Structure 1
């Protein structure tokens, strides 16, 4: 018979694995950004929100705040490092205005987590009090992390294209929310259960959008490639016509010059 603690640990390990996939799911997106040398219409909002979320949850899981939460600390500490790497890449390939805006957000986030850490560890004197304070903050920012793709979802509905909403990120968000909700329900922890249940719902919404606009996205990409091909062909034809025209003009000038010279002589 598996005890509740063992089951919780097993689900927590599974949650760590799924969360790691969630954190790594934007890698194909950043490979595209690196190849194109531009962030194009991609938004930094999901990565900024995830960074803040990971830092807050790391604080929640430390022994002084919420004992026996090693699995919470390991995955969120890892997530913090990964999100910082994404944001650095985003800064490298952004235009100056967007780069400055992202830098300001990162600075505000670091100031916020530093102030929160100092206040919690000095003003709250028991793990229960610290867990409640940081847990409430965690709920707010975890929901923010899961809700951050709403801007991308709005773009999907407007353009009828999922080109800028990566499938693996949406799927990983859903699976991650589901796993951590189960983890929190085994030994009830409302601070983990509530935001991750909300995250699972947002993940379902994104997957439904992906299923709805997948075909129209394929059509748009195919039409764009076809239009580009036709444009390239038209440029070749125009260039060819110009060359032929030049040759005709040169050919017609010869007899006229010769004739004029003869008449003058």
Structure 2
């Protein structure tokens, strides 16, 4: 592993850790209120699957020179499991069953990938199989903010798209994109290139509509302002209720 490859891997680890820890504010609110309110638990389970598959892909016997990928995604998997279990604990019965079922599906998919890659595949075929699986769910994870971007365009407000989270989506995606290019690994470069592009679009939208922050149309906020598992009702819609702070994972 050359120096530039290693350095961009370190950048990716740092920015990735920030993104994984960002929902702490959301879960602090959930724990204090003992309710998941309008927050969605689906993005956390999907991010967990992405972390598990990416961590597995980065192991030396699957793909060489990608241990930094395993380190950050292994840490991310632990963090996301905590989020998922916390969400299940405070979710209403229907949502509890939904997220528990989705968690079971996530673990089944991961277990199947591990089993097939260990006992049915070897060498490059193992790398390709695990790489495709990791890349698909990485793209799904990065695609999560599309709904919030649609809301920003429609309401012409960035009330529900925090600047620093958009910035770190861009920085994280870009770092791993360059890491993948330097390592000639399309399974890392392609999905993170998508992440970098989406992060760029978020930043462009932010600077276009930054002066309109807090002026979103209230009728759409409660059900549509979900970005990677978060929701934030506006003050106008909730009267004297406290404004939720948007997060991502």
Task: Flag whether TM exceeds 0.5 (same fold).
Answer: yes
1:11 aligns with 2:8: yes
1:243-254 mapped onto 2 (5 Å cutoff): none
Q: In the alignment, does 2:116 pair up with 1:104?
A: no
Equivalent in the alignment of 1:37:
34
In the other structure, the counterpart of 1:239 is none
Count of residue pairs the alignment pairs up:
224
Distance in 1, Cα, partners of 2:157 & 2:93: 27
Distance change >3 Å, CA 100–CA 131, structure 1 → 2: same
Could you tell me how far 1:167 is from its partner in structure 2?
3.9
- 1 or 2 for the larger relative contact order (CA 8 Å, sep ≥6)? 2
CA contact (8 A) 1:46 1:149 kept: no
Q: 1:175 aligned to 2:171?
A: yes
| 2:46 and 2:106 in contact (8 A); partners too | no
Q: Report the secondary structure of 1:218's partner residue.
A: coil
Q: Aligned-pair distance for 1:120?
A: 1.1
Q: 1:213 to 1:88 in 2, by over 3 A?
A: farther
Q: Is there any run of 5+ residues in structure 2 with no aligned partner, and where? A: 217-233, 242-249
The 5 A counterparts of 1:41-80 are 41-80=38-77
Instruction: Say what the alpha-carbon RMSD is for the aligned residues.
Output: 2.4
Contact 1:25–1:172 at 8 Å: present in 2 too?
no
The answer to whether the aligner puts 1:200 opposite 2:192 as a matched pair is no
Q: Which runs of 5+ in 1 are unaligned?
A: 230-265
Q: Scaled by the length of structure 2, what TM-score is found?
A: 0.80
Is the CA contact (8 Å cut-off) linking 1:49 and 1:148 kept in structure 2? Answer: no
Deviation at residue 19 of structure 1 after TM alignment: 0.8
Q: Which residue of 2 aligns with 1:140?
A: 136
Asked whether the 8 Å contact 1:61–1:73 carries over to 2, the reply is yes
Question: Aligned equivalents of 1:217 and 1:57: distance in 2?
Answer: 35
Greater helix fraction, Structure 1 or Structure 2: 1
Larger Rg: 1
